[in-house]
Every structure is written in structure tokens, then in C-alpha cells.
């Protein structure tokens, strides 16, 4: 895809960031209530274009930067008064609107998608941000001093597929489950150990999707017992239906670099859903790394 083609894809996003639309959103969220020297568009430029880092600089440096780069002459106090909860709400709405716009874009897929058996390759991860130590004394009276961002994107298109912003350190397994209803069929989900949850995996499977995840070494993994015990009335003894696999004992006999694939194994003491398990014995060099 050539550079001009790429810019055409970005046109709808840039159009939304036009000053009149940004200022309208600022009024809607209460960030800007009447005409000021510093508009919502000017505020965005200060954050993301003119300076980039607005945590370390002093208010005097930010004020000077506005005057030098944007020819806006306002005091340090006026700059300080812009950092409010309404500003947070404005920025959050801005991100949400951009998210919705990019969802409708017709993006060119990665060449690998031609022979790929899945419609998308979704990678989910999270980041946790806290108020810097140098500012924690000023944040004591605030209700939130941290934020958790859940972010998922499709590798095949670059499209953002799930975005969740929560104040505080929210559990990953709970948030990971909230994006499952938005999956289409034949999608492959990749996620790290923080999202390991049997119920989410069941939902992904029931929706005709697939997942690839690391699993805990103490996770319940079993094979179906071909010779279960029976009650006198002929019904199967529930506790004998599955035989747990001792993973640590199984791995002790594997040579460094060896790969062992287990078919038709069952995960979850209560869930008991079928999946494939791949065990990989790391070499000493990989262990050190």
C-alpha cells in the first residue's frame, strides 16, 4: 500500500480532529464552557504535538511553550486550571469516538491473511499507569491515582478491536471476558497468562472462535478415563470420569528443546472442555533469558 493510499485511510480520522469538531466535543463534555484563549484544539496540540511530555515540565515551561509554539499568551494558573476531570472526560470521549470511526474503515489486510484460516488475529494486553511518585503528594485527595487500559488489536489489519479504560487496577480476567461477546466467527485470540479464565475460554469456543494462551503450571488438565468406576445403579462415578495429568512429573522427563503435544485433553476441574496442549521444555540458555 503506497503512502497516498495510507493517508486516504486516515482521512476520516483527521477530519474528526478538525478544530470545529474537537471544540464541539469539548463543549459537550463540559471541558470548554465559553470562548477562551486556549481552545480544545490548542490543548490537544500542547499534549500531543507541541510538547509531548506534560508531566515533567513545570507550569511555567508549559505556559512558555504555548506562547513560543502556538502564540497563546496565558498564565501558569490558567494552564493549571485546564487539567480537570472534565479534561479527562473530554480526552476519553475523543479516544472513544476515534475508536468508533476506525472500526468502520476498510483496511487492507496483511498478506499472510490470504492463506490464513482465521478472519483476524486479535492480541489483548493491558497497561497500568499510576501517578508518578513526584506527584503523589498532590494526588492524596483525589479518588483515583491510577488507570488500567485494556487494549486489543487485529494484527491482520491494525484495527483496534477492543478498548477499555478503568480507574484503578481492575482484574484482567474480568475485563478479558467483556470483549468475548464482540468476537465474530473464526477469530483467533492471543492473550497472556493474566487473562487465563476457563469461563472465557468456553465462551470463545462456543462462539466458534479460537484462543492461544499460556496456562498455569497448577492448572487442572486431564484426560477422559476410558475405564471409569460405576455405581451399583449403572451410573458413572463423577470423580472417576477424568484422570488428572501430573504436568510437573510429565515435564521432568522432557529433554531441553523438546516439544510434546497432547491431543484431546480437558481443562478445568468443573469446566472440562476439550483443547490441545503443547508443552515446550526450555533449554538452559532460555531459562537464563
- The domain boundary, picked from 187, 212, 237, lies at 212
Q: Looking at the structure, do residues 60 and 122 belong to the same domain, yes or no?
A: no
At 212, list the grid cell: 492461544
- Positive or negative: CA dihedral 46, 49, 55, 56: negative
Exposed, middle or buried by CB within 10 Å (0-12, 13-18, 19+), for 172?
Answer: buried
Q: Looking at the structure, do residues 44 and 55 belong to the same domain, yes or no?
A: yes
pLDDT at residue number 235: 92
Q: Which residues contact 270 (CB under 8 A, 6 or more apart)?
A: 198
Q: Looking at the structure, do residues 260 and 237 belong to the same domain, yes or no?
A: yes
Q: Looking at the structure, do residues 132 and 196 belong to the same domain, yes or no?
A: yes
At 12, list the grid cell: 476520516
CATH at residue 111: 3.30.420
Give the CA radius of gyration of the chain: 26
pLDDT at residue number 1: 47
* pLDDT tens sequence for the chain (289 residues): 444 455 566 787 778 888 888 989 999 999 988 777 888 888 888 887 655 566 677 788 888 888 887 788 888 888 888 888 899 899 989 988 888 888 887 777 888 888 889 999 999 999 888 877 777 776 666 666 778 889 999 999 888 899 888 877 788 888 888 889 889 899 999 988 888 888 888 899 988 999 999 887 788 899 999 999 999 998 999 889 999 998 888 888 889 889 999 988 998 887 688 889 999 888 888 888 8
Backbone angle region of 226, left / alpha / beta, with phi > 0 → left and psi within -120 to 50 → alpha: alpha
Q: Which residues contact 231 (CB under 8 A, 6 or more apart)?
A: 237
Q: Please, are residues 221 and 250 in contact by the beta-carbon 8 Å criterion?
A: no
Q: Looking at the structure, do residues 207 and 246 belong to the same domain, yes or no?
A: no
Q: Looking at the structure, do residues 111 and 204 belong to the same domain, yes or no?
A: yes
Q: Looking at the structure, do residues 219 and 194 belong to the same domain, yes or no?
A: no
pLDDT at residue number 3: 47
pLDDT at residue number 123: 94
At 200, list the grid cell: 472465557
Q: Looking at the structure, do residues 114 and 208 belong to the same domain, yes or no?
A: yes
Q: Looking at the structure, do residues 127 and 204 belong to the same domain, yes or no?
A: yes
Domain count, the chain: 3
| DSSP codes, 174-190 | HHHHHTGGG--TTEEEE
- The domain boundary, picked from 183, 212, 241, lies at 212
Domain region containing 240: 215-289
Amino acid at each position: 500500500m503506497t503512502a497516498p493510499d495510507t493517508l486516504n485511510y486516515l482521512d476520516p480520522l483527521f477530519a474528526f480532529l478538525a478544530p470545529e469538531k474537537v471544540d464541539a466535543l469539548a463543549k459537550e463534555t463540559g471541558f470548554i464552557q465559553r470562548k477562551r484563549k486556549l481552545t480544545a484544539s490548542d490543548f490537544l496540540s500542547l499534549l500531543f504535538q507541541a510538547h509531548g511530555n506534560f508531566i515533567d515540565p513545570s507550569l511555567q515551561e508549559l505556559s512558555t511553550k504555548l506562547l513560543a509554539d502556538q502564540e497563546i499568551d496565558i498564565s501558569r494558573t490558567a494552564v493549571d486550571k485546564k487539567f480537570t476531570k472534565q479534561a479527562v472526560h473530554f480526552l476519553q470521549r475523543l479516544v472513544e469516538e476515534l475508536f468508533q470511526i476506525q472500526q468502520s474503515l476498510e483496511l487492507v489486510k496483511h498478506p499472510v491473511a490470504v492463506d490464513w484460516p482465521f478472519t483476524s488475529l486479535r492480541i489483548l494486553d493491558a497497561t497500568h499507569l499510576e501517578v508518578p511518585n513526584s506527584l503523589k503528594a498532590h494526588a492524596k485527595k483525589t479518588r483515583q491515582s491510577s488507570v488500567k487500559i485494556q487494549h486489543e488489536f487485529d494484527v491482520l489489519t491494525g484495527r483496534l478491536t477492543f478498548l477499555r479504560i478503568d480507574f484503578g487496577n481492575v482484574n484482567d480476567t474480568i475485563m478479558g471476558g467483556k470483549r468475548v461477546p464482540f468476537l465474530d466467527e473464526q477469530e483467533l485470540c492471543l492473550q497472556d497468562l493474566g487473562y487465563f479464565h476457563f469461563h472465557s475460554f468456553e465462551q470463545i469456543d462456543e462462539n466458534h472462535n479460537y484462543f492461544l494462551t499460556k496456562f498455569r503450571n497448577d492448572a487442572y488438565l486431564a484426560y477422559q478415563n476410558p475405564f471409569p468406576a460405576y455405581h451399583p445403579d449403572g451410573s458413572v462415578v463423577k470423580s472417576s470420569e477424568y484422570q488428572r495429568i501430573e504436568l510437573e512429573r510429565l515435564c521432568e522427563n522432557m529433554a531441553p528443546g523438546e516439544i510434546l503435544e497432547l491431543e484431546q485433553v480437558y481443562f478445568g476441574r468443573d469446566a472440562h472442555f476439550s483443547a490441545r496442549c503443547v508443552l515446550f521444555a526450555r533449554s538452559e540458555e532460555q531459562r537464563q533469558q
